[in-house]
Amino acid sequence: MLGIKFYKADSSTFVIKSSDGRIRRKGKGLSFFYSPATTSIASIPVNVQEAPFIFGLQTADFQEVRVQGQISYRIVDPERIADVMNFNLNRKG
């Protein structure tokens, strides 16, 4: 059916919709119809994200040490981070 799809973001997601190399719409919690062949959608989470980590290290006297932690972060400037990192959605969403 014409290949038109619908995209809806929640209120904690900043969306940048672009086609033909120009930004058409941007903002938090957008919803719109689009053509997957000509439209690129970047979806950036702006709520608090958490990333756990574990490092396995060896000391000078050859003892095994593990450091475990968690980093919490929030993206403040989603347009700037979209230029640096790839937040584009694939065809399956």
pLDDT in tens, the chain (93 residues): 578 899 999 999 999 999 888 999 999 999 999 988 889 999 999 999 999 999 999 999 999 999 999 999 999 999 998 888 878 877 665
Full domain range(s) for residue 40: 5-84
- Structure confidence at residue 89 (pLDDT): 77
pLDDT of the residue at 3:
83
Within-domain flag for 92 = no
Kindly report the pTM of this predicted structure: 0.75
- Within-domain flag for 89: no
Nearest to 82 by CA among 45, 29, 47, 44: 44
Instruction: Retrieve residue 57's tokens.
Output: 């290290």
Residue type, 52: P
| Domain membership flag for residue 79 | yes
Q: Is the Cβ–Cβ distance between 35 and 55 less than 8 Å? A: no
Q: How many other CB atoms are found less than 10 A from the CB of residue 82?
A: 21
Residue 15: inside a domain: yes
**What is the per-residue pLDDT for 92?**
64
Tally of structural domains, the chain: 1
Quick check: is 48 in a domain? yes
Note the Cα 72 to chain centre separation in Å: 15
Res 21: pLDDT: 83
How far, in Å, CA of 22 to CA of 65, rounded?
50
